[in-house]
Structure 1
Amino acid sequence: MKRETLILSLIGSFAAIGVAQAETSVTLYGVVDTGYGYSQRTLNKSGIDYSSKSSGLHDSYLSGSRFGFQGVEDLGDGLRAVFVLESGINPSDGTTVTPRMFHRESNVGLSSDDWGTFMMGRQYNLADPFFGINSTSSMGDIDKTFGAASVRVDNMFRYTTPNFSGFQAGIGYAANGVIVRNDQDPDTNKDRDSYLSLGVQYTDQTIHAVATYDRAGTGKFEHAATSWALVGSYDFAVAKLALGYGQDRYAKINGVGAFGDRALFAQVFAKAGSPIADYDEFLMAHDFKASNYYVGLSVPFGGGTAGFAWARTASNLDDADKLGDFAGDQTIYSARYVYPLSKRTSVYVYGSYGTNIAYIDSLKATEAGLGLNHSF
């Protein structure tokens, strides 16, 4: 109750500021997205009979529901102080997505027309703002295929340059632990988690091209997980085509298990003869590699926009010393249609079908939904 009361107090306070002073630099914004959704996952292989179904009110198919505060203060000479505080919400029951009040973003920094933007705090890696090529949602989202397409990182310093004739670059770094210097025991120097994010993009009226690299290291594992990607889109006016390719090594930074549950993974690993039940630990211990592919198409149609996507990620988990016959290449087909009722409100329908989900052979998934999305 204390967290909910504090949130309501903050909303009231910032709203009051906005009403009292039109020139205030603080803005309350958000998205509310909910509707009917259906999902099913099935696996019937080598004695494993798994089935999971759900239907009913489902939140955030088109975009994540949220509310946030964004502030800008003009410091003069083109320099501004900026901050973002953003929390995810579940419109279906009014709860927050996690116990963290502002788990989506919580950062502050300085922005300059001439020198770029420097932010500190919990924020996205460079791939998230740079990619911008998704034509579908939910299971069809590009971040279900590329290991670091959208990652929120605690304790990050992030710098992005100004836009130079369409070109922009950025770097982010986070250290989430404490280094213990001990010459007698060098292993104690590994008690520091770190994250590195690099990105460069070019944008004009028709072309959007991006290259990104992410590295997530932790003292828990010998190797750091890495992910790089090349993505781009071209606007033909009658349609926009997006293409992407990238590779992941040692782990999927976003995590593989978004489409299943731990109990199912434990069964599969046990059948494959692995003593490791945790998916991330299994990947790290077995020299995991994956190549990721994405093709997206968006087409104006009937006053709205239709989107289609094909995404595939092929791994080395089918090697005999890994999952062997229990592994397969994940492929997802998806489509959606979004119709705007106004500049801020849209209705949409969505559907997707996937095979070998989470690289598990014969694990199939189906999703469908329709809903209402409103931004403020």
Structure 2
Amino acid sequence: MRLRTQLTAALLVASPLAHAQSSVILYGRLDAGVQYLNHVSNGNGGTANSWSAEGGDWGTSMLGLKGNEDLGGGLNAIFTLETGLQVMNGTTSGGRLFSRRAFVGLKSDEWGTLQAGRNLFIDSDGVWEFDPMVQQAFSSASLVRGRNWQQTSNNIEYHSPVFAGFDVQGQYAFGNQPNGFNNGAAGEFGRSDGIMLSYHSTLFDVRGIYDELRDNNGQFTNIFTSSREFFVGANVHFDSIKIQGAYTHYAAPDTPDGLADSANYYWLGATYNVNTAWALTAAGFYVDVGDGGGDALHDPSGHATMYTLGTTYNLTKRTFLYGTVAYVDNSKQANFSLLANPREGTSSTSPLQGESQTGAYVGIMHQF
């Protein structure tokens, strides 16, 4: 009996090795530092300066697991579980166990990758590569109030192999509600989707994205929270310099009458690698909101320009120091902050309408 038990245990351990080669990787990164902002509205008609210890200014702190099982014939089973972290208080993003990614799928060398679960929304997955500030706290997300760094649940996603430098990615997120095909659960997005076409070469990269991000009522009611997006971006590579630029158009046709329902967004920047350890980045971002009024949730017609200057210094291959300074100049009716957050409310760091804002942060990032 004891021999039979030992043989059974040995077979259970050995059988996965006999059929497939598997691997599971623990990975993550931790970011912490100090941040300064001026002209933060205090809710009583005045402003104040803000000094704070912050995690995630250069990039979201995260912890993840990813796995791969070789099924043979160039086919692999894959999974990823990844959550955002706030190192200053030890919490996870949004109270979810896996806030950023939780998906399983199949990956084929010949046919591409198909996966299902929670994931970064397609523009979040695609825009950062063309952002000179790589979607830091002061970055391409700032002047669109975080529209381009969301996550969505109930995703089905396909990513093609690369053909002659080209690849295509498509994503479809179900609303999962019985009361309306486009609707979503309370506090979630409704049915959302997008497609992305990319070209990469040693000299330049080009990407185009069209996506639709609906609110939980299945509508496009706010240019910066639930809208259609058209994006095109390009990178040009030189020996030690990379130049990056992009244009985005947002449209929210279901916006209530009288409120602004479109915006155009542009940026241009460059990164100079002084040496293998030290890099400098400078960029300018400009948003122009179309005709229409505003309220607590909707930005009115107006424009804003943000200028950023950042640097990183590699201590090792896994650890670097960073620092960024930025300034945003708002038109008379605009109140965009350097941070990507709501127009008004307790979580907003917006200045008063027409007021500028200056900010800076320094910190350390460790990756593992």
Same fold (TM over 0.5): yes
**Number of paired residues?**
316
1:242, distance to aligned residue in structure 2 (A):
0.6
Shift of 1:139: 4.2
What letter matches 2:76 in structure 1? R
* Letter paired with 1:364: S
Amino acid at match of 2:364: L
1:194 CA drift (Å): 0.6
Residues in 2 aligned to 1:361 and 1:191: alpha-carbon distance in whole angstroms = 33
The CA distance in 2 between the partners of 1:284 and 1:87, in whole Å, is 39
Q: Match of 2:229?
A: 227
Counterpart CA distance in 2 for 1:336 and 1:230 is 24
Equivalent of 1:36 in 30, 34, 37: 34
* SS of aligned partner of 1:25: strand
2:166 maps to which residue?
A: 167
- 2:113 touches 2:158 (CA, 8 Å); kept in 1? yes
Report the Cα distance in structure 2 between the residues aligned to 1:210 and 1:36, rounded to whole angstroms: 34
Task: Give the match's secondary structure for 2:45.
Answer: strand
Distance in 2 of aligned mates of 1:109 and 1:92: 33
Whichever residue aligns with residue 178 of structure 1, its letter is: Q
> Whole-Å Cα distance in 2 between the matches of residues 151 and 164 of structure 1?
28
Counterparts of 1:52-91 in structure 2 under 5 Å? 52-91=48-87
CA distance in 1, matches of 2:130, 2:256: 28
* Mapped pair 1:365 → 2:357: yes
Over 3 Å counting, the alpha-carbon distance change for 1:54 and 1:205 in structure 2 is: same
In structure 2, what is the Cα distance between the partners aligned to 1:202 and 1:234?
A: 12
Cα distance in 2, alignment partners of residues 309 and 65 from structure 1:
24
Given that residues 139 and 352 in structure 1 are in contact (C-alpha distance below 8 angstroms), is that contact kept between their aligned partners in structure 2? no
Distance (whole Å) between structure 1 residues aligned to residue 54 and residue 77 of structure 2: 37
Once the two structures are superposed, residues 315-346 of structure 1 have per-residue CA deviations (whole angstroms, 9 ceiling, x without a partner) of 124x4x55799752021111110010111000
* Distance change (3 Å), C-alpha of 1:219 and 1:140: closer
Q: CA RMSD in A?
A: 2.9
The answer to whether structure 1 residue 306 and structure 2 residue 275 are counterparts is no
For residue 152 of structure 2, what is the aligned residue in structure 1?
Answer: 153
SS at match of 2:94: coil
SS in 1 for 2:46: strand
Distance 1:330 1:48, change over 3 A: farther
> The residue matched to 1:172 in structure 2 has which SS?
strand
Equivalence for 2:212: 215
Return the offset for 1:177: 2.9
Secondary structure of 1:129's counterpart equals: helix
1:206 aligns with 2:203: yes
Matches within 5 A, 1:326-365: 327-356=301-330, 357-358=335-336, 361-365=353-357
Give the conservation status (yes or no) of the 8 Å contact 2:41–2:48: no
Q: Which runs of 4+ in 1 moved over 4 A?
A: 188-192, 221-224, 281-285, 321-327
Say if 2:240 and 2:274, in contact at 8 Å, map to a contact too: no
Shift of 1:48: 7.0
- 2:209 partner letter: T
Give 2:239's aligned residue: 237
Distance 1:135 1:299 in 2: 11
The aligned counterpart of 2:224 is: none
Q: Secondary structure at the match of 1:80?
A: strand
Separation in 2, partners of 1:283, 1:238: 48
Partner of 1:289: 262
Closer, same or farther in 2 for the Cα pair 1:191/1:299, shift >3 Å?
closer
Q: Would the alpha carbon gap of residues 90 and 223 (structure 1) be closer, same or farther in structure 2, given more than 3 Å must change?
A: closer
Q: In the alignment, does 2:108 pair up with 1:112?
A: yes
Q: Give 1:191 shift.
A: 4.2
Cα 1:119/1:145, change in 2 over 3 Å: farther
* Contact kept in structure 1, 2:36 and 2:361, CA below 8 Å: yes
Contact kept? 2:241, 2:270, Cα under 8 Å: yes
Secondary structure (helix, strand or coil) at the match of 2:99 reads: coil
Q: In 2, Cα distance between the equivalents of 1:283 and 1:330?
A: 23
Contact 1:231 1:242 in 2 (8 A): yes
Comparing both structures, which one devotes a greater share of its residues to helix? 1
* CA contact 1:148–1:214 (8 Å) conserved in 2: no
- The amino acid that maps onto 2:37 is S
Q: 1:329 to 1:75 in 2, by over 3 A?
A: same
C-alpha separation in 1, matches of 2:320 and 2:262: 39
| Offset, 1:64 | 0.7
